[in-house]
Amino acid sequence: MDNLQLDTLVITCDRKSELPSVAQQILTFAADSRIMLFVGDLGAGKTTLIKELCMQLGVKDETASPTFSIINEYVGDASNSIYHFDFYRIKNEDEALNLGVEEYFYSGNYCFIEWPERIERLLPDNFLIIKIKGNEGEKRTFNLTRYE
């Protein structure tokens, strides 16, 4: 990766009830970054944090659709779309291209991406990566880095 690293921030969280505040700090730190990559082991809390970010962006109906497979769309309080991707089960980058991911990535809307490692070559240059550590109890560490 030869992107320019801009800025970093570490957020620690002792319990799940702190996630609304964590989400707010992430949105503030992200500034204009609309692409957020979530990296962490199974059960680290990627989906849980994304759900909280959506809540903070005013998504009312956060019930995951039963057909959720790879791409899910939510609507925030400014009637803006928020896209949530989970590439865990993607077969290869061609499958992602066929789903039209590039159109979403370059739409200017928030794109929250789980398992970005699976489609690394399709990612735009500007993104915020959030590395989540810890999966026992409710303690988590979130390492944020903004790239351009």
Q: Is 54 an interacting residue with respect to ligand ATP (CB under 6 A)?
A: no
Choose which of 3, 47, 80, 81 interacts with Mg ion (CB under 5 A).
47
The string of DSSP letters for 57-94 reads TT-S--PPPTT-SSEEEEE-TTS-EEEEEEGGG---HH
Cα distance between residue 82 and residue 104, in whole Å:
9
Q: Min. distance of Cβ 126 from ligand ATP in angstroms?
A: 23
- Strand boundaries in the chain, DSSP class E: 5-13, 35-39, 71-75, 81-86, 110-114, 127-133, 140-147
* Closest distance of CB 118 from ligand ATP, Å: 11
Q: How far is the CB of 128 from ligand ATP (least distance, A)?
A: 17
**Partner that binds at residue 13, options Mg ion, ligand ATP, none, CB closer than 5 to 8 Å by kind:** ligand ATP
Alpha carbons 6 and 104: distance in angstroms, whole number? 24
State yes or no: residue 44 binds ligand ATP (CB under 6 A). Answer: yes
Q: Which stretch binds Mg ion (CB under 5 A): 10-18, 54-62, 108-116, 117-125?
A: 108-116
The 10 Å Cβ neighbour count of residue 139 is: 13
Q: Between residue 98 and residue 137, which ones bind ligand ATP under the rule CB under 6 A?
A: 114
Residues making contact with ligand ATP (CB under 6 A): 13, 16, 19, 40, 42-49, 114, 138, 140
